Structure 1
Amino acid sequence: MNNSDTEEKVLEGDNILINGSFEGDVDTRSELKFERDIESEDEKCKRKCIEKVLVCGSTTLKTWKNFAVSKYGLVADDLRYQIWPLLLEVDPSTDEKIPSLEELADHPEYQQVILDVNRSLKRFPPGIPYEQRVALQDQLAVLILRVILKYPHLRYYQGYHDVAVTFLLVVGEAVAFRIMEKLSTEHLQECMEPTLEKTDYRLNYIYALLYKVDRELYNFMDTAGVGTMFALPWYLTWFGHSLNQYKDVVRLYDFFLATPFLMPLYVATALIIYRRTEILAECCDMVLISASKFYQDYPPDTLEKLVQKRVEKALTERRKNEQIMRNRLRSQRSLWVRLNNHIPPWCVFNRRNKLGLIFAAATVVISYLYYKYGINSRLSLFGTFKT
């Protein structure tokens, strides 16, 4: 399965029917809303804590991660501008020359990137002057092409621009390149392979999680043949393609930047479980899964608690299984292995070690010669003294 063949249809719309048909052949994304709410007292308090740590200058990565995953995240974009690079441990300063869009026009992915960027109008703040919007679109195209030009083994996929535009809007072109460079070679690397084989495999983790947490829902979706295509835009774009509230997108990005790269799959599973009643109420052949609908009226803080609970439960079970395995191996150890633990190292015979083999052979020969000739020598010597 080729990236461009599948994603072009998947990312056209947010809603996907379980039988594989798509709700529309045009871009059905709603306009991204950029309303900024007045910060609450709790948010102001957290802002002061973050600013205090920023002024301090000496802190650990764990501190920034705690700020990012805890309630309200990093609060606002002015703080994200400073902390997102710290979360990924990238150097925001750069003296690298930024090429113009014309200089990158010969790249094989150029036409596809330009096509997707031109369709990303809804992801930019409304009301900005035409010239500024065009400049942002050019910066977005250059940002994407620079990454795949620097790393030729990476392949652009449709939806990559949804991730890139978020970082471009928050931290600017120079820092966004450093962040996208880091994410593309780590978090998103599997998504940027020539085929979607590994990505499809990862998406099946959703069903593995459902099987452990909600067996009834798992059986229903498995019987209905829902598959994993509905979650492909969620995973490829970190929900940036599917949500229509800018504050929700950046809040999730706070969370994803501070957690392991598979966390979007845990969030997807949590969303499905949260809406289980609606899913189970549908006919098996008409189940519709929509990220924007699921996320509506679903506070990010509630989502984070649910995801964290699932992660902690999975870690606890993993530790328990590892301990059982260690105990089993300990009880099944051979007599030879147990004896080796009580024999001095210089006496241990390692069958894979040539020196050990030579030492063992020499020991046997010397012992035999001593036994054969040593006894006669001692008897002769004893007879001489007796005489």
Structure 2
Amino acid sequence: MATEDELLTYGSDEIADEKSDHDPSRSPRSSAKITDSNAELQEVKAREIIDACRRRDIESLQALAESPGGFITDELRQQAWPVLLGLPVRFPSDEVENPSSDRHEVVRLTASEFIDDAWKDLKPHKEEEQVKLDVARAFVYYPNYESDQERTHQKNELSDLILSILRRYPYLCYFQGYHDICQVFLLVLPPALRSPAVARLSALRIRDFMLPNLSAAIAQLRLIPDILRAADPALWRHLPQTEPFFALSGTLTMYAHDVQSLGEIARLFDVLLAREPVFSVYMFAQIVIGRRAELFAVPSDEPEMLHSILSKLPQPLDVDRLVAGACRLLADHPPESLRSWRCGVSPNSVLKTARSTRDCAGQSLEVGAYFFGQQILELQREERKKKVIDALWRYRKPAKAVGVAVMFGVLAYWIRRSAVSNGVAAGPVRYMTALVSAWWQEF
């Protein structure tokens, strides 16, 4: 858990080799060599992470987040996550021409917007009651608190974190599962960085989920069948051709609702923050592909069973393998190649406004608010369009009757004139009149 100050201190925890304790063929001496070798590799990687953070090198941080183990420790995440999110942080090494490789770096937030409790005096958000209910159910899987008092304290901290965002940015709409995301930031980041980090995440990276309805979130889900169709046509044909709601919980909560280990979810957050928001969708598609054999074992005419499998993450979850597979999937089938991306994803969606992690890190919260406003206008237009379509459908018979009656009236008038001018018998007129009468009785 993060300490109660702004010091981002990096320890030198020894990295133990996972295999050495389980393989009897290894001698203690060879096991020690492997452990030392792994520790050296982790130490080298840690220095690379620190150096990339000091240089604000987003591309290097992306590569490090994708590599096995991600950012390794919470202490390193405390330095990397703020950089990836574009927080205005300052390192003492910024003012040194040749900074040392000392891992004990004091990192400070240069913005003062979040350093006090002024949010408590702001108008309560309309969804605070739901926040209260969700926070009461928090901290189910991790961490293991020694006392109820400690758990209660953390729940109060979580509530304050969420409410500080909602009151400062009241245009954002709370969704169930948001507390799962905030819980991870609470447990990893020091207090001074939590609110600003979650604020930027909310406005710039998960904004689609904080709209008044789930239309934008569902538009994201519809990319999954297109990805599967491109990557594995046979599997795509085997799965139910319905809305992919099985992926809603995972993508909506950045998998924080379903992953039961803090270490695993923090490692997932490494890559989800380092990559563009659409990466989360590709990650779920990769999860589906990874369960190919399990899914083919279920007949295609049992959609309920298939949905049950798809809606749960595999246990255990091989995070490093999942990340590597999702990276390949995104490279082989970029979103621009998908029809649902071109036709179903709004230009104001975070999937497109944050297509580049570096560009997103440079965006302001005001930019996020602007895109939010544009998305609201889109939702309003869609709602008006839906009302018109519903009205036309509801009154389709009277409208059809009026339209056809007008058509027959014009036709009858034309026949009557033709009959008078050409001396034609009135039989066609009587026929048309009888036809209209018979048709009208059907309504």
Q: What's the TM-score bracket when you normalise by the shorter of the two chains?
A: 0.5 to 0.7
- Distance verdict in 2 for CA 1:290–1:122, change over 3 Å: farther
- Distance verdict in 2 for CA 1:217–1:150, change over 3 Å: same
Q: Indicate the residue corresponding to 1:139 in structure 2.
A: 157
Once the two structures are superposed, the pairs formed by residues 83-102 of structure 1 within 5 Å of their partners are: 83-92=80-89, 93=109, 95=112, 96-99=114-117
Q: Indicate the residue corresponding to 2:189 in structure 1.
A: 171
CA distances 1:338-380 after superposition (whole Å, capped 9, x unpaired): xxxxxxxxxxxxxxxxxxxxxxxxxxxxxxxxxxxxxxxxxxx
- Distance verdict in 2 for CA 1:85–1:210, change over 3 Å: same
Q: Indicate the residue corresponding to 2:74 in structure 1.
A: 77
Q: Indicate the residue corresponding to 1:254 in structure 2.
A: 270
Once the two structures are superposed, the pairs formed by residues 2-151 of structure 1 within 5 Å of their partners are: 38-40=15-17, 41-42=37-38, 44-51=40-47, 54=50, 57-58=54-55, 60-92=57-89, 93=109, 95=112, 96-99=114-117, 106-151=124-169
Distance 1:106 1:59 in 2: 36
Larger Rg: 1
Amino acid of the structure 1 residue aligned with 2:61: W
Amino acid of the structure 2 residue aligned with 1:157: F
1:314 aligns with 2:310: no
Give the CA deviation at 1:38. 4.8
**Which deviates further from its counterpart, 124-133 or 246-255?**
124-133
Distance 1:135 1:154 in 2: 26
- Distance verdict in 2 for CA 1:239–1:53, change over 3 Å: closer
Distance 1:130 1:316 in 2: 46
Contact 2:82-2:197 at 8 Å conserved across structures: yes
Contact 1:117-1:141 at 8 Å conserved across structures: yes
Amino acid of the structure 2 residue aligned with 1:83: A
Amino acid of the structure 2 residue aligned with 1:305: A
Sequence identity (%): 27
Distance 1:191 1:182 in 2: 14
Distance 1:55 1:192 in 2: 34
Give the CA deviation at 1:305. 1.9
Contact 2:14-2:39 at 8 Å conserved across structures: no
Give the CA deviation at 1:214. 1.2
- Distance verdict in 2 for CA 1:246–1:66, change over 3 Å: same
- Distance verdict in 2 for CA 1:216–1:198, change over 3 Å: same
Contact 1:238-1:264 at 8 Å conserved across structures: yes
Amino acid of the structure 2 residue aligned with 1:91: P
Q: Partner of 1:216: helix, strand, or coil?
A: helix
Amino acid of the structure 1 residue aligned with 2:163: L
Once the two structures are superposed, the pairs formed by residues 106-255 of structure 1 within 5 Å of their partners are: 106-223=124-241, 225=242, 227-255=243-271
Picking from 269, 280, 285, the partner of 2:285 is 269
Q: Partner of 1:71: helix, strand, or coil?
A: coil
CA distances 1:36-86 after superposition (whole Å, capped 9, x unpaired): 995444365233332366269445222222211112100111111111111
CA distances 1:213-256 after superposition (whole Å, capped 9, x unpaired): 11122122234x4x322111101111110111222111110010
Contact 2:66-2:324 at 8 Å conserved across structures: no
Give the CA deviation at 1:292. 8.9
CA RMSD, aligned part only?
2.8
CA distances 1:109-160 after superposition (whole Å, capped 9, x unpaired): 2111011001013144113333322221111111111112222221000000
Contact 1:104-1:110 at 8 Å conserved across structures: no
Give the CA deviation at 1:314. 1.9
Give the CA deviation at 1:291. 6.9
Q: Partner of 1:287: helix, strand, or coil?
A: helix
Amino acid of the structure 1 residue aligned with 2:188: V
CA distances 1:151-203 after superposition (whole Å, capped 9, x unpaired): 22210000001001001100033211111111111110010000101111110
**Which deviates further from its counterpart, 238-247 or 253-262?**
238-247
**Which deviates further from its counterpart, 300-309 or 36-45?**
36-45
Runs of 5+ unmatched residues, structure 1: 1-35, 319-387
**Which deviates further from its counterpart, 80-89 or 183-192?**
80-89
Q: Partner of 1:235: helix, strand, or coil?
A: helix
Contact 2:250-2:257 at 8 Å conserved across structures: yes
Per the normalisation by structure 1, the TM-score is 0.66
Q: Indicate the residue corresponding to 1:295 in structure 2.
A: 314
Distance 1:222 1:276 in 2: 14
Distance 1:119 1:104 in 2: 25
- Distance verdict in 2 for CA 1:106–1:147, change over 3 Å: closer
Per the normalisation by structure 2, the TM-score is 0.58
Distance 2:122 2:16 in 1: 42
Distance 1:141 1:80 in 2: 22
Distance 2:267 2:312 in 1: 17
Distance 1:274 1:300 in 2: 12
Q: Partner of 2:176: helix, strand, or coil?
A: coil
Runs of 5+ unmatched residues, structure 2: 1-12, 18-36, 90-108, 338-443
Contact 2:123-2:167 at 8 Å conserved across structures: no
Q: Partner of 1:49: helix, strand, or coil?
A: helix
